[in-house]
A and B are shown apart, each in its own frame.
Chain A
């Protein structure tokens, strides 16, 4: 966990989470298998997010979910979970824990700050709490999970340096202007 940006009304912290991507058909059987394996029932509506202090579970598209573990886990636990889900022929689970980076964005000015990097409409009526979006931030593909008081933003690990620099640069210029 490291602080990337600290401005009046904007706090951005990089976090170490684990994540798995699950593909499936969203049927009752699918839901039951996932619930059995993860103890959480997958969100049903497209772009819906379920979350608590231990996890964030988002439905990225009609047949794709992302499960982010907020609580600390061993990598082997994640590997074992993936293996146990993949036993089922009609599901695909992939561990992408270290292929992604995670940023928590909080504060009253977080939307304005992010809108220096993305065209995405962050207004509450367009991007309500407990929903997620896949969009472009700083010209790269990102996922944003709206947890109400904070956003979790994820992008590919290979962009980590670039993305951190863009966040810091934006903070520097926001602060300066």
Chain B
């Protein structure tokens, strides 16, 4: 009893080879893994998830629950459906979830121990003994979980493609193609999506259709494909599976561009199509379901329509003498196909009474002398790793049939997965014994068998009627059939079991090894709601999403609960329809494109000068510059800090946010946005300013340059710039629409350099010889505009280091040139570039805060002793009212202080707690009084000690007192003294020198 190869117009005659579990086999181009294995008489393909039972090929498509394999050639891709994956010459495949081999798998012991592993066993076990969970159970479960092995490292080149279209037709079978032909050269932009590598669907799966308009099915398909490819408005995507149907007709589909081809690592292997459409047409067909009987998982059990597909699509007849077991008339075409090939079914078993079966079927069975059992059912199968014997029950009699293959048909389910994802409502149809679409929630039309119409004769009428609201062509196709158009299904979900043994099982979910007994047990234990039952048993939760079994389980449950199936309802169908890889979802947003990068105009210089970068938002900012290869960050920062305070340093501050504010009400606007008072501020001066939230907490800070009362320029933090601008716009548009003020972001319009240090004035004088930088001509916190080459520059006297400093703003086109010039002029003064880490150290020495470091959304200006920045006489500003709330006015709020270790060699860590005790107990039984936390901490090369800034409860009243800072992982705390947060130059002599 072997498979035979047959002529097939859809499969290439080109011979290829592939390997499975290390052995090489011949196949043809166009084969799937499954068709190629069947072609080579390989029935045992894998082991099941829980019980490690031998499993074979059950279906011929995406619904496959059993035949999952590992593709060794493609990054070790696991859990690949053998029934979908097309092979190519040299592809290496292995079975999975077995050890040491597929034929002898030690994991099969689970099958013997199955009474322990019944439904929900993991809710009842692993409770003890103490410590076993962490050390024994969890590692063991993790080791045994999953099916295949994880893929090896690889860099996907998957891409995303967006579409905006009028109509999407999902499914290129008969109904999809008829619908598509109606749209040819119409005004609609149409996308036809087919999961297979070819169009035609059922026309190529069976011989049910004899002709369409007197053309053979293949001629008609060819004609249709030609018409579609010549049309101006229809695009066809093959090898593309729609996985997701979101709100507002948004679809996600995955295209496998290397289906049947070896992957080229330089090319994009997958395309994730993201489609927005006005109208969706679902013509995605139906899926055959199985029947539960004893050992219905043995290799050799296959869905009847799948057996037929292997014959017609791939030219493989998996078995010359199969047994057919059905409860409907759809298997008639399979009977005819087998006989036409010169083979003969071993037996035909129909659960319907003889008088319920169409006479032409009975006549055919009789004419061909096929052993037939009517009003009968398969009790079960037996065999070692494959079917050997099939037991048939007819009335009270049992019959044994020797066969290695059993073709089962339990009826068809309209493939409502996508329809229900779209939130469409379904209803139970007794005639087809399944759920079918009822009410669409979105602009969705269902055509053909997905709508429950299995009658080819009525197909054109259905399509005409359902698409009548669109301006389409009137088309009529005369469809002639080879077999009866009747479906006449009789409900049969599970057959009665005669033998009971631990080995024998009746499965309802093959993927997750859920048996009908598990369903019964779950209901007995009170899980009688279908969603609860699903989760308790894991029924239909596998990667196949129970495509061939979920309706069966509903039916079995409904019988147990003595309810109608419609009362039990369905579980929720969620995307994706079938698994898709994370690589496809991520697309190109990985590695170098993980996050967009922003660079300043000086970036190339930084690279050449050994900058190490840090990410600030999306900006790449120099963190520190290495003077030599082995220099550590600590060494570099200490060096940069010391040199800057002795001579000069320059920072690329281009990332700082910059906003231009202009209008007749600009002054009032600024007074409202910031805490500071700007009314008396002189033109061409600048001021450090704070912006609060309505809760009175500090939101951002920056320097405000006042050009005049109608024109300001504000700087913001680098990462806060977009939010500050958005907030300003929002207040203008919603709270103060009467104010005549306009805003523009100018962050990108200027490169900004912060040069500071005692030698800065000398350097600036050399760079700009025509400008007087004396204290008198250019005092602290003033700014001036100058012509420079072919552009304008703005120079502001300001500093974030506590040293004499200037900020230079110049168009990015001229930025790099000026930067180089500054270095050229600064060489004599030992000018160095410095990065953000040094900037942080220097500002901490000076007691300057950083938003997000000293502040965390709970800090007011008063907490920082920045009362001087609050315009108390101002009528209003954002957050003003909140500052006078009793809570924000408390004396014991956390306040900014400095920390100085008593032992100067001690290093305190950022984020550590400040406590009153010098040593923590080994086991903390009672809460330790917490005073605050260290917000910033550095080793100051200029003070030669560790310094810190901290937010401490009532800190203002604790100056001079001794407390302790905790140390991570230790109980011994570091003694510190609470000091003024300004460590260097509290008189501002350097700043104003």
A-side interface residues toward B, CB under 8 Å?
21, 23-24, 63, 74-76, 79, 86, 89-92, 94-100, 112, 115-116, 118-123, 126, 138-140, 156-162, 165-166, 169-170, 173, 176-177
What's the nearest-Cβ distance from chain B to residue A74, in Å? Answer: 6
The residue of chain B having its C-beta at the shortest distance from the C-beta of A118 within the complex is B162
Are A115 and B163 within 8 A (Cβ)?
Answer: yes
Interface string of B141-179 (1 = CB under 8 A from A): 000000000000000010111111000000000000000
Are A92 and B662 within 8 A (Cβ)?
Answer: yes
19 sampled A-B residue pairs with Cβ under 8 A: A23-B744, A75-B813, A79-B792, A91-B742, A96-B746, A97-B811, A98-B749, A98-B813, A99-B750, A115-B162, A116-B160, A119-B274, A157-B601, A158-B599, A166-B593, A169-B588, A170-B159, A176-B264, A177-B268
Q: Is the CB of B598 closer than 8 A to any CB of chain A?
A: yes
What's the nearest-Cβ distance from chain A to residue B704, in Å? Answer: 16
Give the complex CA separation of A17 and B660 in angstroms.
Answer: 22
> Across the interface, which residues of B come within 8 angstroms of A158, CB to CB?
598-600, 619, 748
What's the nearest-Cβ distance from chain B to residue A66, in Å? Answer: 11
Give the complex CA separation of A79 and B660 in angstroms.
Answer: 15
Q: Which of B159, B264, B600 has the most CB of A within 10 A?
A: B159
Within 8 A of A (CB), among B758-795: 790-792
What's the nearest-Cβ distance from chain A to residue B809, in Å? Answer: 12
> Across the interface, which residues of A come within 8 angstroms of B749, CB to CB?
94-96, 98-99
What's the nearest-Cβ distance from chain A to residue B599, in Å? Answer: 6
Contacting residue for A140 out of B257, B596, B744, CB 8 A:
B596
Besides the known contacts A169-B588, A170-B588, 14 further A-B residue pairs in the complex with CB atoms under 8 A apart: A75-B791, A75-B813, A90-B740, A92-B743, A98-B749, A99-B746, A99-B750, A138-B596, A139-B596, A157-B601, A162-B599, A170-B159, A176-B266, A177-B268
What's the nearest-Cβ distance from chain A to residue B939, in Å? Answer: 33
Give the complex CA separation of A170 and B268 in angstroms.
Answer: 10
Contacting residue for A92 out of B596, B597, B660, B812, CB 8 A:
B660
Are A75 and B598 within 8 A (Cβ)?
Answer: no
> Across the interface, which residues of B come within 8 angstroms of A123, CB to CB?
164, 189
> Nearest 10 A-B pairs (CB), nearest first?
A99-B748, A23-B742, A158-B598, A121-B164, A92-B742, A99-B749, A176-B267, A92-B662, A98-B813, A94-B744
Within 8 A of A (CB), among B737-753: 740, 742-744, 746-750
Contacting residue for B276 out of A95, A112, A119, A177, CB 8 A:
A119
Are B588 and A23 within 8 A (Cβ)?
Answer: no
> Across the interface, which residues of A come within 8 angstroms of B601, CB to CB?
157
Given contacts A92-B743, A94-B660, contact A161 B811 (CB under 8 A): no
> Across the interface, which residues of B come within 8 angstroms of A121, CB to CB?
164, 276
User: Which DSSP category, helix, strand, loop or mixed, fits chain B's interface?
Assistant: mixed
> Across the interface, which residues of B come within 8 angstroms of A112, CB to CB?
161
Q: Which of B619, B660, B749 has the most CB of A within 10 A?
A: B749
Are A63 and B742 within 8 A (Cβ)?
Answer: yes
Give the complex CA separation of A74 and B588 in angstroms.
Answer: 39
Q: Which of B268, B596, B710, B791 has the most CB of A within 10 A?
A: B596
Contacting residue for A23 out of B267, B743, B747, CB 8 A:
B743
Give the complex CA separation of A76 and B792 in angstroms.
Answer: 8
> Across the interface, which residues of A come within 8 angstroms of B163, CB to CB?
115
> Across the interface, which residues of A come within 8 angstroms of B747, CB to CB?
99
What's the nearest-Cβ distance from chain B to residue A64, in Å? Answer: 8
Give the complex CA separation of A79 and B794 in angstroms.
Answer: 13
Interface size on B, as a range, is 35 or more
Interface string of B264-295 (1 = CB under 8 A from A): 10111001001010000000000000000000
Give the complex CA separation of A37 and B597 in angstroms.
Answer: 37
Interface string of B584-604 (1 = CB under 8 A from A): 000011001100111111010
Are B711 and A157 within 8 A (Cβ)?
Answer: no
Q: Is the CB of B954 closer than 8 A to any CB of chain A?
A: no
Contacting residue for B597 out of A90, A122, A162, A176, CB 8 A:
A162
Contacting residue for B791 out of A79, A122, A161, CB 8 A:
A79
What's the nearest-Cβ distance from chain B to residue A152, in Å? Answer: 17
Interface string of B294-319 (1 = CB under 8 A from A): 00000000000000000000000000
> Across the interface, which residues of B come within 8 angstroms of A23, CB to CB?
662, 742-744
Are A24 and B791 within 8 A (Cβ)?
Answer: no
> Across the interface, which residues of B come within 8 angstroms of A118, CB to CB?
162
> Across the interface, which residues of A come within 8 angstroms of B266, CB to CB?
176
Are A75 and B164 within 8 A (Cβ)?
Answer: no
> Across the interface, which residues of B come within 8 angstroms of A138, CB to CB?
596
Give the complex CA separation of A76 and B814 in angstroms.
Answer: 13
> Across the interface, which residues of A come within 8 angstroms of B162, CB to CB?
115-116, 118-120
Give the complex CA separation of A91 and B710 in angstroms.
Answer: 11
Q: Is the CB of B693 closer than 8 A to any CB of chain A?
A: no
Give the complex CA separation of A63 and B732 in angstroms.
Answer: 12
> Across the interface, which residues of B come within 8 angstroms of A166, CB to CB?
588, 593
Q: Is the CB of B664 closer than 8 A to any CB of chain A?
A: yes
Give the complex CA separation of A130 and B750 in angstroms.
Answer: 30
> Across the interface, which residues of A come within 8 angstroms of B711, CB to CB?
86
Give the complex CA separation of A74 and B664 in angstroms.
Answer: 30
The residue of chain A having its C-beta at the shortest distance from the C-beta of B258 within the complex is A177
Within 8 A of A (CB), among B695-740: 710-711, 740
> Across the interface, which residues of A come within 8 angstroms of B424, CB to CB?
none
Are A86 and B159 within 8 A (Cβ)?
Answer: no
Given contacts A75-B813, A98-B749, A115-B163, contact A21 B597 (CB under 8 A): no
Give the complex CA separation of A170 and B157 in angstroms.
Answer: 10
Q: Is the CB of B569 closer than 8 A to any CB of chain A?
A: no
> Across the interface, which residues of A come within 8 angstroms of B857, CB to CB?
none
Q: Is the CB of B61 closer than 8 A to any CB of chain A?
A: no
> Across the interface, which residues of B come within 8 angstroms of A120, CB to CB?
162
Q: Is the CB of B911 closer than 8 A to any CB of chain A?
A: no
> Across the interface, which residues of B come within 8 angstroms of A126, CB to CB?
164
> Across the interface, which residues of A come within 8 angstroms of B791, CB to CB?
75-76, 79
Are A173 and B597 within 8 A (Cβ)?
Answer: no
Q: Is the CB of B871 closer than 8 A to any CB of chain A?
A: no
Q: Is the CB of B663 closer than 8 A to any CB of chain A?
A: yes
Are B746 and A94 within 8 A (Cβ)?
Answer: yes
> Across the interface, which residues of B come within 8 angstroms of A160, CB to CB?
599
Given contacts A21-B744, A157-B812, A158-B619, contact A176 B268 (CB under 8 A): yes
Give the complex CA separation of A166 and B594 in angstroms.
Answer: 11
Given contacts A89-B663, A96-B749, A140-B596, contact A76 B790 (CB under 8 A): yes
Give the complex CA separation of A16 and B267 in angstroms.
Answer: 32
Are B268 and A159 within 8 A (Cβ)?
Answer: no
What's the nearest-Cβ distance from chain B to residue A63, in Å? Answer: 7
Give the complex CA separation of A126 and B162 in angstroms.
Answer: 15
What's the nearest-Cβ distance from chain B to residue A29, in Å? Answer: 13
Are B598 and A159 within 8 A (Cβ)?
Answer: yes
Give the complex CA separation of A94 and B164 in angstroms.
Answer: 35
The residue of chain B having its C-beta at the shortest distance from the C-beta of A169 within the complex is B588
Give the complex CA separation of A118 and B162 in angstroms.
Answer: 7
Give the complex CA separation of A21 and B749 in angstroms.
Answer: 11
Give the complex CA separation of A158 and B745 in angstroms.
Answer: 14
Give the complex CA separation of A176 and B258 in angstroms.
Answer: 12
Within 8 A of A (CB), among B654-674: 660, 662-664
What's the nearest-Cβ distance from chain A to residue B512, in Å? Answer: 36
Are B189 and A98 within 8 A (Cβ)?
Answer: no
Are B267 and A165 within 8 A (Cβ)?
Answer: no
Give the complex CA separation of A4 and B663 in angstroms.
Answer: 40
Are A90 and B663 within 8 A (Cβ)?
Answer: yes
What's the nearest-Cβ distance from chain B to residue A54, in Å? Answer: 21
> Across the interface, which residues of B come within 8 angstroms of A89, CB to CB?
663-664, 710, 740
Are B790 and A74 within 8 A (Cβ)?
Answer: yes
Give the complex CA separation of A77 and B597 in angstroms.
Answer: 32
> Across the interface, which residues of A come within 8 angstroms of B619, CB to CB?
158
The residue of chain A having its C-beta at the shortest distance from the C-beta of B589 within the complex is A139
What's the nearest-Cβ distance from chain A to residue B259, in Å? Answer: 13
Give the complex CA separation of A30 and B464 in angstroms.
Answer: 57
> Across the interface, which residues of A come within 8 angstroms of B792, CB to CB?
79
What's the nearest-Cβ distance from chain A to residue B464, in Å? Answer: 27
Are A177 and B744 within 8 A (Cβ)?
Answer: no
